[in-house]
Amino acid sequence: MSLALRVALLLVVILAVVLMLLLASASSSSSALDQFYPWLVGASGAIALAMAGLTIGVVVRVWRRFSRGEFGTRIMVRLAIAFALIGAVPVALVSFVSAQFLAKTIDSWFSYGVNVALESGVSLGRTSLEGMQADALSKARRLAIMLEDVPAAQMIGTIERVVDSREGIDVLVMTGSGAVLASRSAKLGTLVPELPPIEALNRARVARQAVSVEPTTFGAERGLQVRALAMTSRVSSQGDETRFVQWVEQVPAALARNLEALNDGVRDYQELALGKEGLRKLYGATLVLTLLLAFFGALLTAVLLSGWLAGPLRQLERATKAVASGDYRPLRYDPRSTDELNVLVGSFNEMTAQLNEARELAQRSRLRLEESNLFLQQVLGHLSAGVMVMDAQWRLVDYNASAERILSVDLAQERLRSLSLLPVVGSCSDQLTRGLKDRDEIQFQHETAQQGGRTLTLLVSGSRLPGKPAQYVVIFDDIGELLAAQRSRDFADMARRLAHEIKNPLTPIQLSAERLERRLLERLGPEDAELLSRSTQTIVDQVTALKAMVDEFRNYARLPAPNPEPVELSRLLKEIYPLYSNDRRIQWPEQAGQFWVAVDRAQLIQVVHNLIQNAQDAIGDQAGGAIRLAIEWTGLPKIVAGEDASDGQWARVSVTDNGPGISADTRSRLFEPYFTSKAKGSGLGLAIVKKIVEENHGRVSLMNRSESRPSDGAGAVACVEFAKLQNAADNSDVISRDQRHYG
């Protein structure tokens, strides 16, 4: 709540307390505050008004905050209501009882009996006074009649006789013109008798008599006296003579005192009776003020206290929200104070500090985890082996780039696909799942045919990851090339040794055969001679062939490292053309074009020769046999092409025949050395092609025509492909690049 409101409330309450004390002391019978009494009452009313205004203000304020749902107002309102009830109910009760009591009490003061008694007292007093008056008047009249004929000098004797030595009686006889004829005074030392007041004389003149009661002051004593006047007039020789006789009699002091007391009592009573309403109002106002004060005090206390209570709560609530949104700053905490809320604040701060620490720890470990994950990803990505992680149902969860490369598939599309539905590895899923059912690790070699006639040889190993639910890791590596390389290295070794071992005896064999022929030819008959010479010729021929074959073996084994240079393929074919110009079955490419590639020229020529030779062998003497050579640009899938196929542009030389084609059982070993399906031949032709092409970073494939294009008839198509030379004009660059690569 605002400071102004607090101050106003406090001021009003203090003022109210002061006013109430003043009012209470002013209400007592007599006090110095009497003259300010109306002001006190007015001020109390004003204070009550101010309090009411303030209360309404506070209530409206709290209610607004309450209906806005502000935090802490609920407890505030509850407290306020509780305090107000605690304060107001007893005060209201006491006030009610007091008001009832007051009303009854005030009424009981003015009972009918008292009223009647007082009135009786008054009439009694009046009657006694009237009796005295009548007595005095009759005395005065008698004296006046007795004195009518008495000369002035003898009057005093008559007077004394009438007075009869009673006390407290003054008698005065005077003429109508005011001359005193005789007087008697009860008071000693009073020489001049008290003359009747003019007003009394006037009345006596009119009515011939007059009587009145007068207050007297005799010293400090207040008293009453009865003054009776009687007038006589008679006609004498001197003319009309008017005389006044005044009879003044003191009311006995005790009676006078009693009468005064009665008068005072009646006055007080009547004052009270008149002020009955006023009294009631007065007490009522005091009570109401007390009630209001208690009520407002309670309200003020409630508001202040609940504000004081709810303040730290609100702070805590704000801090809680702040923590929820990630703000871990500590609250203001007073280490000296020991009150519970402060302790709570302390614990809260401790909690937020710990939370903050835990959060930072979690963050740090998360970062570390991410780092190690990243590291693992990088390691996996750079593994040449394909790695796939499968879940308990053998669905693909994760994989690395090498897996995609080996399988030639975009695995992102295959996530959560079952292993058996994946290409290449799908065919070994049974083996994997069965193997890993009761073992933790399994390793086997798996061969599978791939599109394009290639056979993939994979070394697959699977292992079960610990934990529930089970996860599996499948690692596979393309070991086909490895195997092939190993095989060809083994072969080269053997060929070299074999060549060496075989070549050495060949020359002696040939020479021996020729010598035998030379020596024996003349000695033999023509029939034998012809046999001899034919046999010798056969031996020489076969030895020569054997030599050639051994050379070929050696050549294969000692194939020199390629020396790549920019080669234009169509020009190269044109150079080869004359060698086969007598074979009309070969169809040469017609279109001119620039197919620049970087290869070893001599080796490429040998590749083309071998392919044409292979095709010629395939068609043999078959009628209608045809061979077609073609050069074209082609693109390979990027994944397969690898990093060399920068934009998928490859130059392809294809040799197509319409021979019998490739049988299923031979195709997987087509490029292996010493494998041949032909009656003659070393089985090295295609092996050499493959070796050269691969060493020149090209690709070779051999498949049935129907595989590449089902509409075609029988026959095989052999393709070699080389990456397009990026900048054909800048040959030196190519050379230097190639040297860097392969040198």
Partner 1 sequence: MLLIIAMLMLALAARANETESVRLSRPVLSAAPDNTWTIDADVQVTLNSVLIDALKRGVPLVFSSEFEISRKRWYWFNEKLLSQSRPLRLSFHSVTQQYRVSQGDQLMLTTNHLDEALAAALNVRQWPVAQHAAEVQLQELMQQVAKTPEAFEIRFRTRLDSAQLPKPLQLNALTNRDWNLSTEWVRPQLSLSGSGSIQ
Q: Which residues of this protein are in contact with partner 1, per CB under 8 A?
A: 26-27, 34-35, 37-38, 41-42, 45-46, 48-49, 52, 122, 125-126, 129, 212-215, 217, 224, 259, 262-263, 266-268, 270-279, 281-282, 288, 292
What six digits make up the tokens of 570?
């169509």
CB nearer partner 1, residue 275 or residue 743: 275
The Cα 610–Cα 655 span in angstroms is 11
For the CB of residue 285, give the shortest distance to partner 1 in the complex, in Å. Answer: 8
| Long-range contacts, 165-169 (Cβ 8 Å, 24+) | 167/250, 168/249, 168/250, 168/252, 169/247, 169/248, 169/249, 169/250
CB nearer partner 1, residue 204 or residue 702: 204
For the CB of residue 52, give the shortest distance to partner 1 in the complex, in Å. Answer: 6
CB nearer partner 1, residue 41 or residue 411: 41
* Nearest to 105, CA basis, from 331, 279, 359: 279
For the CB of residue 318, give the shortest distance to partner 1 in the complex, in Å. Answer: 40
For the CB of residue 50, give the shortest distance to partner 1 in the complex, in Å. Answer: 10
Beta-strand runs (E) in 347-411 = 386-390, 396-399
For the CB of residue 231, give the shortest distance to partner 1 in the complex, in Å. Answer: 20
> What b/e sequence results for 629-639 when a residue is b if at least 16 CB atoms lie within 10 Å of its CB, and e otherwise?
bbbbeeebeee
CB nearer partner 1, residue 219 or residue 525: 219
For the CB of residue 273, give the shortest distance to partner 1 in the complex, in Å. Answer: 7
The Cα 527–Cα 620 span in angstroms is 36
| Beta bridge mates, 653 | 631, 720
| Beta bridge mates, 629 | 655
CB nearer partner 1, residue 262 or residue 473: 262
CB nearer partner 1, residue 129 or residue 152: 129
For the CB of residue 122, give the shortest distance to partner 1 in the complex, in Å. Answer: 6
The Cα 166–Cα 170 span in angstroms is 10
Cβ atoms 388, 462 nearer than 8 A: no
What six digits make up the tokens of 276?
């009955």
The Cα 70–Cα 318 span in angstroms is 12
Strand 586-587 relative to strand 627-634, pairing? parallel
3-state secondary structure of 196: coil
CB nearer partner 1, residue 47 or residue 641: 47
Whether residue 193 is preceded by a cis peptide bond, meaning omega within 30 degrees of 0, is no
For the CB of residue 21, give the shortest distance to partner 1 in the complex, in Å. Answer: 17
3-state secondary structure of 208: coil
**Residue 109's CB: how many other CB atoms inside 10 A?**
12
Residue type at 640 in one-letter notation: V
Q: In degrees rounded to 5, what are phi and psi of residue 368? A: -60, -40
3-state secondary structure of 436: helix
For the CB of residue 129, give the shortest distance to partner 1 in the complex, in Å. Answer: 7
For the CB of residue 25, give the shortest distance to partner 1 in the complex, in Å. Answer: 12
CB nearer partner 1, residue 9 or residue 224: 224
